[in-house]
């Protein structure tokens, strides 16, 4: 395992994991093994990026953590309250306003009707989108739609937030702005975030820990722990340096799989 030492240490995290993945493997039917003997712990409040080439099983692992599928072998322990999931597509209800989309998640959670409007507006304010509360998805930019999707995920009030390449379809400037928003929300809410990406710079920018998965089958091949994450930007020297190191490891995995 690799440790990237950047400035002073980050605050210590609780030793009791929010998510425990113990010897997990996954095979679909009679096909090849997709994930092989994955063991990882994610601490409460930790921001972890799962990184790897396309087809390495990142999204499959996220679905297993979310309980959308079951492992072939091994076990996964998550909080009793479960996890919220945010996908690449915002998947907003097109006939509902931004506020109503968030209210829908609150209603499904059992929040009384009298409280939903104020709570939805508060969540939209958390993602800096309160002024667009009455707009429908077609009136919003891609980045704004993803902010609504993030507010909707937060509305589920789960301790773990699972994010499957949520910014992949956005332009670089919008993605950078949403990185800042997500980091601010993470620090404000204290959620455990598991963030899937194939973008090395994104992982180096966001994660307290970056876990690299190899392919065919998916296995943990390396990880990096960043001791200080405050003040990072996509163009920060420490992000660039870490990106080079991770990219070298990723290239080794890609060459190995090409043989």
**Rounded CA gap, 99 and 150, in Å?**
12
Report the pLDDT value the prediction gives residue 89, as an integer from 0 to 100. Answer: 87
Report whether 226 contacts 184 (CB < 8 A). no
Report the pLDDT value the prediction gives residue 4, as an integer from 0 to 100. Answer: 45
Report the pLDDT value the prediction gives residue 227, as an integer from 0 to 100. Answer: 80
Q: What are phi and psi of 102, to 5 degrees?
A: -70, -40
66 by DSSP, 3-state: which?
A: helix
Report the pLDDT value the prediction gives residue 15, as an integer from 0 to 100. Answer: 67
- Domain segments of the chain as ranges: 2-82+159-258, 92-157
- Model pTM score: 0.89
**Rounded CA gap, 254 and 259, in Å?**
9
Cβ–Cβ contacts within 10 Å for residue 77, how many?
Answer: 12
Report the pLDDT value the prediction gives residue 12, as an integer from 0 to 100. Answer: 43
Q: What are phi and psi of 138, to 5 degrees?
A: -70, -15
Name residue, tokens 């200080």: 228
pLDDT < 50 stretches in the chain: 1-14
The per-residue pLDDT for range 147-169, each reduced to its tens digit, is 999 999 999 999 999 999 999 88
Q: Give the CATH H-level superfamily of domain 2-82+159-258.
A: P-loop containing nucleotide triphosphate hydrolases (3.40.50.300)
Report the pLDDT value the prediction gives residue 229, as an integer from 0 to 100. Answer: 81
The per-residue pLDDT for range 224-250, each reduced to its tens digit, is 998 878 888 888 899 999 999 999 998
Question: Strand pairing of 33-42 and 2-4?
Answer: unpaired
């Amino acid at each position: 395992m690799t440790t990237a030492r950047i400035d002073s240490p980050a605050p210590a995290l609780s030793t009791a994991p929010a998510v425990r993945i113990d010897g997990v493997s996954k095979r679909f039917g009679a096909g090849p093994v997709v994930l092989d003997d994955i063991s990882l712990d994610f601490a409460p409040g930790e921001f972890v990026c799962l990184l790897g080439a396309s087809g390495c099983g990142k999204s499959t692992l996220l679905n297993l953590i979310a309980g959308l599928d079951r492992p072939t072998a091994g076990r996964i322990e998550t909080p009793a309250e479960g996890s919220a999931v945010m996908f690449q597509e915002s998947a907003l209800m097109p006939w509902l306003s931004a506020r109503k989309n968030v209210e829908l998640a609150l209603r499904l959670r059992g929040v009384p009707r009298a409280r939903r409007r104020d709570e939805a507006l508060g969540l939209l304010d958390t993602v800096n989108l309160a002024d667009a509360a009455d707009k429908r998805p077609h009136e919003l930019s891609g980045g704004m739609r993803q902010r609504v999707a993030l507010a909707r995920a937060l509305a589920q009030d789960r301790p773990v937030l699972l994010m499957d390449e949520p910014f992949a379809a956005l332009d670089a400037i919008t993605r950078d702005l949403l990185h800042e928003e997500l980091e601010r929300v993470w620090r404000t809410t204290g959620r455990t975030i598991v963030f899937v990406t194939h973008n090395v710079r994104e992982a180096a920018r966001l994660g307290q820990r970056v876990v690299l998965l190899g392919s065919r089958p998916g296995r943990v091949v390396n990880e990096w722990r960043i001791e200080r994450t405050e003040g990072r930007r996509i163009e920060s020297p420490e992000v660039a340096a870490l990106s080079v190191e991770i990219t070298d490891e990723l290239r080794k995995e890609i060459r190995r799989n090409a043989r």
